[in-house]
Structure 1
């Protein structure tokens, strides 16, 4: 039995909101931090999020060009969106649509994760790791497991304070080894080791690589350059990853002492209020509700693999 803490966030009435799907112009790619069409779409989405304080947005999960955007019909939000479309080479697809729970949840969670970084960094689909330098820290680190749901009036955040151990190793990965990549923890295979960034790759220098991880994932790589690996996924060409963004196995997730739970939760919620003070033009309103006792047929100490969907 585990205890999750539930927080409710008041959401606007859907009748006051509009929803559009935008398509990124991949012919306009000119930023080396976004080498592929997929990365270009994500970069455009994040640029929209950080250019307007109250818009919610999310890249499409399957289409390489589409971005979902929710805005308030009141005020000048739609005019601002049109200006951003021109600025960022985005094209509206179809008419303004009605918002539903699934779209709202998707856009809220992605926007929240983008704005919480690098103070809280998304790992897999439901964990946040504390501290901007978490990639170089050794041992268990403070984190939060976060599940999001939407009902008629509110967004519900179900939070569980945890310790997250990324299980670092000083041993090099070997060619053909199956590993996991951050932040998704998807499977990939090691192809080659590089002491320095390969000259024929997507990034010209370490500065480009650091900008890529900041702009696409919100992660802050250390200032000192580290070795790299070429990794191959189940499809596509090999990609170059810094060694600290690879792990041999899933992180180990463990509970924290009850005395530490309140401090971790307070840190997370206060950061959310600071980084995301407005939601669609309205001040964020977060309230703790009754905590829930969740019965699960798994041990308290477990690998993240038990709750993370990944590629086979």
Structure 2
């Protein structure tokens, strides 16, 4: 299925880069500078529905923001900069399809969580309690492409099994972490939250995952793991966000596929009724068999068997 969303006139949009003040006293849910920048970006998104934004993946302080130059959106944005201790870096730039795609993508995933939860950069699981749900769960694989006229979201319905386990992870074991599925190694395990943590309580940790990733951790605590990536300091992860293997992707039947995609469209139109101050206008278009290649991952979603997700790219988010 293709969802063709009519873009605002890109010539009427402004694009600015904001710099987060990492010297601020950090909120307890964002102990690192990189997480502090992400939190500020999400605060901007949820403070003004007329703005699209995304954190820069490679810079610890930068946030990309797109706004409508008509009206008073820029004045409102400057007020938010003052409120959230952000500084505009340079002047107002032109909004290109590339930066529009990045900001639309991130804003969309922020707004539709926790109904739809991010896994890697191209899967969304339709279950608020997906972290504690065993077996296949309904999801979509998607790809966003932006041109001067449309934002095209290609969607394919699937089921995803996270392969959750009751077994404990052992120091020295290689694992995958949510949501990126990046590879890392278990440095140590803890039963007591106070050990090896920059967070003051499990409540703070739950706020971290909600504010940074949109995930809702269960109310009951479990084991914790100190996870070491290929560089940077170890990070504390709750057991629910650590996987031993890649999740399994399972194709769906055509009737179920239509139902899952319908739920996705309904949520999208509810959570993003307006884009940059204009009503969301889109049309649905069935993907023909010859078009299905655009949605197929490198290892292909075979119709006859379940397959593992493809190996992810290392993101700087896991390196901070």
Give the TM-score normalised by the residue count of structure 1: 0.96
Once the 2 structures are TM-superposed, how far is the Cα of residue 199 of structure 1 from its aligned partner?
A: 4.3
Q: Deviations over 1:174-224 (max 9, x none)?
A: 111000000000011001111121345210100000000000000000011
Q: Where does residue 309 of structure 1 map in the other structure?
A: 313
Say whether 1:36 aligns with 2:40: no
In structure 2, distance between residues paired with 1:160 and 1:200: 41
Q: Is the 8 A contact 2:26 2:36 kept in 1?
A: no
SS in 2 for 1:28: coil
Q: Where does residue 230 of structure 1 map in the other structure?
A: 226
Once the 2 structures are TM-superposed, how far is the Cα of residue 100 of structure 1 from its aligned partner?
A: 0.5
In structure 2, distance between residues paired with 1:292 and 1:122: 26
SS in 2 for 1:26: coil
- Which of 121, 124, 146 does residue 125 from structure 1 map onto? 121
Q: Is the 8 A contact 2:196 2:226 kept in 1?
A: no
In structure 2, distance between residues paired with 1:151 and 1:93: 26
Say whether 1:250 aligns with 2:246: yes
Q: Where does residue 99 of structure 2 map in the other structure?
A: 103
Q: Where does residue 218 of structure 1 map in the other structure?
A: 214
Q: Is the 8 A contact 2:10 2:148 kept in 1?
A: no
In structure 2, distance between residues paired with 1:290 and 1:169: 37
Listed as ranges, the matches of 1:250-269 within 5 Å are 250-269=246-265
- Which of 176, 183, 191 does residue 180 from structure 1 map onto? 176
Listed as ranges, the matches of 1:17-28 within 5 Å are 17-28=13-24
Q: Where does residue 68 of structure 1 map in the other structure?
A: 64
Q: Is the 8 A contact 2:174 2:244 kept in 1?
A: yes
In structure 2, distance between residues paired with 1:127 and 1:102: 20
Q: Is the 8 A contact 1:196 1:226 kept in 2?
A: no
Q: Where does residue 138 of structure 2 map in the other structure?
A: 142
Once the 2 structures are TM-superposed, how far is the Cα of residue 310 of structure 1 from its aligned partner?
A: 4.1
Say whether 1:240 aligns with 2:236: yes
In structure 2, distance between residues paired with 1:233 and 1:73: 41
Q: Is the 8 A contact 1:60 1:68 kept in 2?
A: yes
Once the 2 structures are TM-superposed, how far is the Cα of residue 55 of structure 1 from its aligned partner?
A: 0.4
Q: Where does residue 204 of structure 1 map in the other structure?
A: 200
Number of aligned residue pairs: give it. Answer: 306
In structure 2, distance between residues paired with 1:51 and 1:196: 36
**Alignment RMSD (CA, Å):** 1.2
Say whether 1:46 aligns with 2:42: yes
SS in 1 for 2:249: strand
In structure 2, distance between residues paired with 1:146 and 1:220: 22
Q: Which moved more, 1:187-196 or 1:18-27?
A: 187-196
Q: Is the 8 A contact 1:232 1:238 kept in 2?
A: yes
Give the TM-score normalised by the residue count of structure 2: 0.93
In structure 1, distance between residues paired with 2:314 and 2:283: 33
Say whether 1:94 aligns with 2:90: yes
Q: Is the 8 A contact 2:190 2:223 kept in 1?
A: yes
In structure 2, distance between residues paired with 1:223 and 1:251: 24
